[in-house]
Chain A
Amino acid sequence: MNPITAVMNWIKPIRFDGDNIPLWNRLEYSLRDKLLNGMITVLLVLIMLAILLPLYWMLSTALTPRAELFDFPVPLFPDNPTLDHFWKVIANSNFLVWYMNSLVVAIGVVLLTVFSATLGGYGLARLELPYKKTYARTILFGYMFPPILLAIPMFIFWRQLNIVNSHVGLILAETAISLPFSLWLMWQNFQRVPNSLEESALMAGATRFRAFVDIALPIAKPGMVAVGVFSFAVSWNQFTIPQVLMIDANHWVVVQGLFSFSKQHSILWGQLMAACFIVIIPPFLFVFFLQKYLLQGFRTGGVK
């Protein structure tokens, strides 16, 4: 094949007649598709890198020995990976206490939220009540409340009730953030559960409450799992409210504890990143294992 034919073959998909045709429209459709897909792929790769690289860097720093952290140029892969930082973090008894505090508070928030949101969602969806629209607005308004706006008044209020620096106080406070959206989600969920199943149970002689427990609840399970994971994430993520309410270092949650790795002007970056990595494990696990439920549960979410 002589060079001229090769070039001609290569540019065949491009039209050269007519000078008023925009460049893009001169291309053959299959070529346009290829170019477009190529561009999309490049963008996708960039997006993935933007998300994954910082996470990779967190892990990489956590695995790099302390002496090599300040090398220039910094190695992109740890030369001598070590779990030293992780051991040091775990051996730090305070960190374990803070981690336990976080877990206890998160579980409390999950239980309280799932319990009241499931019951409330059912009541709103199934019972004929006046002023439904007002409830909807109130709930959605509650969803807008930013943590700092609630935290400072809560501190003044909780102090009067003597529940500052207590798990109960923090669980209640964080429920303020998780409850409105959860209630909304369960309300939507119960609306999608066909009422006819419950009605036939009523016809067969079951009481309303039994129809709720034996029929509506099992079908609403994906919604409950979604609410559970959501409220866990809210509690696990929460820094503002504990920072205001939990002043005593023994009662800190784990994200507050991250501050203990910076002393004056030196920050123990290796240990800090290892600790951060340990902190993000639970939410990642949850989403990994419960993905199927989550998609089902949130699909009915409407607003979020």
Chain B
Amino acid sequence: MLERLRARKAPAQDSLYEFLSIKWILAGITLLPAAILFTFVNVLPILWAIYAGFFNVSPFSREWTWVGLENYFEVIGNPEFWMAMWRSLLFAAGSVTLQLIFGIGIALIINRTFRFATLVRSVIILPYLIPTAVLAFLAKWMGDPQSGILNQILLQTDLITEPIRWFSSFDLAMISVVLTGSWKFTLFVVIMVLARLQGIPEGLYEAATTMGATSYEKFRDITLPNLKGVIFIVLLLRGVWMFNKFDLIFVLTGGGPLGSTTTTSIHAYDVAFTTLQLGRAAAISTLLFIVLATSALLYFRVLEPSQEVDVE
């Protein structure tokens, strides 16, 4: 291989490569693209939101009017916003609880060795590949009050006498949306927990078995402590993502019926594109960002994920 390297040397290219190898030049060409991109698409929009929050942004022209803190006060003083925050919290708490319980359960089951293990593991990844909007349409069809398969089965087996309006009744909509989302996002938990489970040395279990530990004791004293880190990561990441979930709810219910599934993200979208108050939507984004930053702080303080892998 090294001979080939030397043989391929071309003088002009060589001096170019030498120039590219100067430490700071190399640092520049390797790190700058990602850094510029990250600044442009992740950092600037947030700064822009904070800035735009101080203005009345016209939806039709580029006219901006300075209004100071008015947007922020209006958002905070609006009970709708707090209702939406509360629904987001409910939605996130329900989703994360379901996803954690099922995710850990499924991971524990498929971590055992059995026939068809590879097949099962590839099937289990399928839901994660389905776009959330597609899942939402499919769930809407299956839960359709008139001709959805779910109601048909329940009616035929005499479990219910009247079709259930999964996504269009005030009391049920939130639960149905949580269940639908969990069908897909549980797999995220499965994948992460499975990766961690496979990293637990088999010897620990063998030693425990020799000492006469029961399966429950092994789970409590070996498996669970090893999963603590990953459970915390999942709790935070999934918590943050579900708190701000938009696509699933937008397609399934659009925030209805009667606002029973209007979470903060749906509320922010409505403020921006139904009532066309872009400045106020920017203020909501800023507030959401503060919530996110607080959770991130918790993430880094408690867990220090950057230490889980060597940063050298």
Q: Which residues of A contact B (CB under 8 A)?
A: 37, 40-41, 43-44, 47-48, 50-52, 54-55, 57-58, 61, 69-70, 72-74, 112, 115-117, 119-120, 122-125, 127, 129, 132-133, 136-150, 152-157, 159-160, 172-173, 175-176, 179-180, 183, 188, 191, 200-201, 204-210, 212, 214, 233, 236-240, 243-244, 255-256, 258, 267, 269, 272-273, 276, 279-280, 283-284, 287, 291, 299, 301-304
Contacts and interface: CB of A to CB of B under 8 A. Distances in A.
Contacts, number: 274
Given A122-B30, A145-B292, A156 B137 contact: no
A47 B18 CA distance: 57
Contacts of A152: 49, 268-269, 272, 278, 281-282, 284-285
Given A191-B312, A239-B132, A120 B5 contact: no
Given A51-B124, A146-B265, A240-B250, 6 more contacts: A144-B296, A150-B41, A180-B42, A210-B5, A210-B21, A291-B122
Contacts of A47: 106, 109, 120, 124
Contacts of B273: 244
By size class, the interface of chain B is 35 or more
Contacts of B44: 157
A153 B52 contact: yes
Interface in B271-300: 272-273, 278, 281-282, 284-285, 288-289, 292, 295-296, 299-300
B156 interface: yes
Nearest to B306: A136
Given A156-B52, A258-B134, A144 B237 contact: yes
Given A44-B114, A51-B127, A304-B192, A115 B33 contact: yes
B35 interface: yes
A284 B183 CA distance: 17
B129 interface: yes
B296 A141 contact: yes
Nearest to B28: A123
Contact of A48 (B17, B123, B306): B123
27 contacts: A40-B112, A51-B123, A70-B146, A112-B37, A117-B34, A119-B31, A133-B311, A140-B299, A146-B240, A146-B241, A146-B265, A147-B244, A149-B285, A153-B46, A155-B278, A156-B48, A160-B62, A172-B37, A172-B40, A175-B37, A176-B45, A179-B38, A205-B6, A238-B131, A272-B137, A280-B129, A303-B308
Given A40-B112, A276-B137, A140 B306 contact: yes
B123 A52 contact: yes
Contacts of A120: 30-31, 33-35
Contacts of B57: 156
Contacts of A283: 129-130
B22 to A, nearest CB: 8
B131 A137 contact: no
A44 B31 contact: no
A204 B245 CA distance: 53
A200 B142 contact: no
B76 interface: no
Nearest to B126: A51
Contacts of B109: 40, 43-44, 47
Contact of A280 (B130, B244, B300): B130
A47 B110 CA distance: 10
Nearest to A150: B45
A200 B42 CA distance: 38
Contacts of B141: 57, 61, 267, 269, 272-273
